[in-house]
Amino acid sequence: MRSYKDHLILKSSTIKDALTQLDLLAKDAILFIVTSDLKLIGSLTDGDVRRGLLKGVSIDDGVMEIIQSNPKFVKKGDYDIQKIISYRNDNYRILPVIDQEGLVINVINFRLLRSYLPVDAIIMAGGRGTRLQPLTDDTPKPLLRVGDKAIMEHNVDRLALYGIDDYWFSVKYLGEQIEAFFGNGENKNLSINYVWENEPLGTIGAVSKIDNFKHDYVLLTNSDILTNLDYEQFYLDFIEKDADFSLVSIPYQVNIPYAVLEEGDDGLIKNFKEKPTYTYYSNGGIYLMKRSVLDYIPKNSFFNATDLMDKLIAENKKVISYPLAGYWLDVGKHEDFKKAQEDIKKIKF
């Protein structure tokens, strides 16, 4: 994977240097001019070079002679999704991401990404995977391979496709293998931190150990889920409904093979439904929440996501569900693992 730094060029560079770098970038040919400490000061494309040469600028002149001094950019932790959608719709394909000091910390490319969500992601990856023994005796369940990738890598790559680049992995059982596999995320242009559970803390308790989130919204997911969820639509639904907490819900249909009678309060039969189908929804293990609701999680205590939902509902917070229309599979048992191997061949992720 190309490093975002391939799009950066020092302001002391020559136009010839820029041409060489632009040629290497091929269809992604845009450069962002930075100071030695990576502060953004301008942008440069092939078109800027051509216009400069037509005006008599030499390729041995400095890039500062021909830069665009007001480039579009995204400021980390200080943007909304509508701004991103607007850039995307206006065909701004490649944009630098700057921090609060104006230093370039990433470059987003909408040829490769579908969105750039202002969200931190937590992946719960500390479980023992007992139901998948003996496969998990020497390998943590998140690193079992489905197709050509580990289960958890499918998760990370899907989230990264929507521009989520700040991660916390909650690990315990064989967590050293997970840390060795993903490292700090640099090879995927991501930032990955690790939260170690010295003792089991439930499905969300370990989140109480994190105090340096980058955004106001946090997405939490189990590590053993395969899904083609559209995370941008999930996020937009959350924002549109001004929710405090949202969970992805999985529809299940129950077919009754007989006619079902309906009684009134008086015990009299009012109606018959012939072989009806009922739809129920279950918890999909993927949650989106305002960062502020994490204050309800007790410090270093066993605590499940359902416990948090109970607390929020009791406090009259807005807890909603997002019914999933796409693919979802919890790879928890041997039959699920076998199904995943077949599904990965035909489901588009």
Strand partners, 159: none
Question: Residue 78: its pLDDT value, please?
Answer: 85
In the chain, where are the structural domains located?
A: 4-109, 119-343
What is d(CA 25, CA 32) in angstroms, rounded to the nearest whole number? 12
DSSP secondary structure letters along 207-250: GGG----SSSEEEEEETTEEE---HHHHHHHHHHTT-SEEEEEE
**SS3 (DSSP) at 42:** strand
Spell out the CATH class of 4-109.
Answer: alpha beta
In the chain, the amino acid numbered 20 is T
Q: Is the pTM of this model over 0.85?
A: yes
Q: Which of 232, 208, 218 is nearest to 291 (CA)?
A: 218
Q: Which of 104, 110, 114 is nearest to 27 (CA)?
A: 110
**SS3 (DSSP) at 107:** strand
What is d(CA 217, CA 335) in angstroms, rounded to the nearest whole number? 35
Spell out the CATH class of 119-343.
Answer: alpha beta
In this prediction, residue 58 has a pLDDT band, given cuts at 50, 70 and 90, of very high
Query: pLDDT digits over 216-267, tens only?
Result: 999 999 999 999 999 999 999 999 999 999 999 998 878 888 888 888 777 7
Question: Residue 323: its pLDDT value, please?
Answer: 95
Query: pLDDT digits over 70-89, tens only?
Result: 999 999 988 889 999 999 99
Tell me, yes or no, if the two domains 4-109 and 119-343 fold the same way. no
